[in-house]
Amino acid sequence: MSNVVLRNIEGADFRASPEYQLVVFDRLPCEQQDALKDLTKDPDFYGVLVPQGSGIRSAKSVSQDTALLFLTLSTPCPIPAYVRTKLGDSCNQTAAELVLDGILEIAHDGHFVCGSEAYEVIYGGPPITKPGDPLAEMSLNALKYAQALDIDDSVRLSARLYLYNRVPLSTQWKKKFPTRDAVAAILGIESGGANRRYLDGRWTSLKVSPQQEGWFHWESRTSQRGNIAPRQGYKLYLSPQPKCVRDAFRVLLEVLTESNAYHFKVGNNAAGVLRPDKIVIYFWDFESLNQTARQIATRLEGCPPQGVPFTACVTDDGLLSWGIDPLPQEGVLAWQERESWRLWVTNRLAVALLAAKNAPSRTLEPWQFALERLRLDNVNTETWAPQAAFGHPAAAEG
């Protein structure tokens, strides 16, 4: 559960949203069954909520428990006793999330509301709107920018949020970083390059998939995962201005020689060097990340930052920041790429932003609703640090 203050709404009347039809998997058209067949690997999977009519709503896969609740609330009533017993202390927040996501509606002033229109019914205080640091302010500006865009597709909107603060790919930058080999030469990692000695002893260069072809990747020959669960790790972002990437990368390599990092990557073309998250270093624990970050910060004091939106500051200027890739989830489709920390964040923000923009009436700005909805997913939207309840105990240290 999150630490967000919510009103107690368990005794209110709820109803299943008339905007959705619940369809068991076996009754979906054959082509949809084929597209969603990977979801059946989850024994708790029931089917799909299919949006009715036109609009920005998208289909949602649902568990057996959610399906049963949806069917039970086809007739308005309070949350059933069996649900309250099963969910215990998390019942109130679960109900709030279902209402905010438009799956259920809650009675308010003689009618039923959901999404951003239900904010005053659910939340125990005003929305948080004050950013805590430069990256938080940048993230807030990104949300306001996305709200102003004429985009009604959450995937496209998430991409615009994800790419926010990328330096435009001008002719000047294309000339400076014309090819992959040119970037390698600037970084000093080509054959015989000045920085090869830092790589050859400790790191193994990885061949990458087509999805990762915009990166140089290296894996540690010495840092071991131990008992840490697979694919669970912390990410340190080093974000200098593109003109400073060579010097910053040299310092990084020197510091990583004695670090506990197990993987790192850097953009290998002009677009990669211009993105804010151009250098990413991976660790198995927050303590190792923080120690390495402090060493880099000391060496790069005064280096002009670019800054990575939707990450948590390590240094006050935003040159170094961090995040956590979400834990693997059941029911992910084979063709879906696993979400990174920032993509996980921007995907959720985009969905909430569009839902609030398309609400019949506004009780708060869509960007405010998006922030508040993400707070329920255990992200501190004042600092963009994941909370301890996110699934990583050390997250609270950030």
Q: What is the pLDDT of residues 122-148, one digit of tens each?
A: 998 888 777 779 999 999 999 999 999
Please check the confidence at residue 396 and state whether its pLDDT lies above 70. no
Mean pLDDT calculated for residue range 373-384: 93
Give residue 180's pLDDT: 94
Q: How crowded is residue 290: how many other Cβ atoms within 10 Å of its Cβ?
A: 19
Q: Alpha-carbon distance 75 to 340, whole Å? A: 39
Contact 264, 292 (CB under 8 A): no
Mean pLDDT calculated for residue range 21-25: 95
Rg of the Cα trace of the chain? 23
Closest CA to 280 of 244, 299, 308, 315: 308
Find how far residue 208's CA is from the centre of its chain.
23
Question: What are the angstrom distances between the C-alpha of 352 and each of 158, 199, 232, 356, 358?
Answer: 11, 43, 26, 6, 10
Give residue 388's pLDDT: 67
Q: How many CA atoms lie within 13 A of 202 on its CB side?
A: 19
Which tokens go with 56?
């920005």
What residues pair up with 385 in beta bridges, in sequence order? 380
% of the chain at pLDDT higher than 70: 90
Question: What are the angstrom distances between the C-alpha of 101 and each of 16, 61, 216, 363?
Answer: 12, 13, 39, 16
Please check the confidence at residue 85 and state whether its pLDDT lies above 90. yes
Give residue 328's pLDDT: 58
Alpha helices in 257-365 (DSSP H): 270-274, 286-299, 341-357
- Residue with the larger pLDDT of the pair 333 and 259: 259
Give residue 232's pLDDT: 57
Please check the confidence at residue 397 and state whether its pLDDT lies above 60. no
What's the 3-state SS for 49-65?
EEECCCCCCCCEEEEHH
Please check the confidence at residue 250 and state whether its pLDDT lies above 70. yes
Alpha helices in the chain (DSSP H): 30-35, 64-72, 81-87, 91-100, 119-122, 134-148, 154-162, 171-176, 180-187, 196-200, 245-256, 270-274, 286-299, 341-357, 366-375
Mean pLDDT calculated for residue range 14-26: 95
Whole-number mean pLDDT of the chain? 90
- Angle of helix 366-375 relative to helix 134-148, nearest 10 degrees, comes to 130
Which CATH architecture best describes the domain 171-306?
2-Layer Sandwich (3.30)
Please check the confidence at residue 335 and state whether its pLDDT lies above 50. no
Please check the confidence at residue 225 and state whether its pLDDT lies above 60. no
Place of tokens 């009436």: 361
What residues pair up with 267 in beta bridges, in sequence order? 215
Give residue 93's pLDDT: 96
Q: Alpha-carbon distance 152 to 57, whole Å? A: 10
Question: What are the angstrom distances between the C-alpha of 89 and each of 78, 148, 277?
Answer: 16, 38, 38
Mean pLDDT calculated for residue range 303-312: 98
Q: Alpha-carbon distance 113 to 359, whole Å? A: 10
With 0-12 CB in 10 A as exposed, 13-18 as middle and 19+ as buried, what is 250?
middle
Please check the confidence at residue 291 and state whether its pLDDT lies above 50. yes
Which tokens go with 372?
């508040």
Which tokens go with 384?
């963009």
Mean pLDDT calculated for residue range 75-90: 95
The size of the chain, in residues, is: 398
Please check the confidence at residue 343 and state whether its pLDDT lies above 90. yes
Give residue 233's pLDDT: 83
- Residue with the larger pLDDT of the pair 300 and 337: 300
Which tokens go with 239?
């974000």
Give residue 224's pLDDT: 59
Please check the confidence at residue 337 and state whether its pLDDT lies above 90. no
Closest CA to 157 of 303, 353, 304: 353
Q: Alpha-carbon distance 45 to 226, whole Å? A: 33
Q: Where are the domains of the chain?
A: 1-125, 171-306
Helix, strand, coil share of the chain (percent; to 5): 40, 15, 40
Give the end-to-end CA distance of the chain in Å, rounded to a whole number: 19
- Residue with the larger pLDDT of the pair 327 and 89: 89
Closest CA to 251 of 288, 300, 290: 300
Which tokens go with 378?
């255990």
pLDDT digits (tens, 9 = 90+) for 27-74: 999 998 998 888 888 899 999 999 987 667 788 999 999 999 999 999
Give residue 329's pLDDT: 54
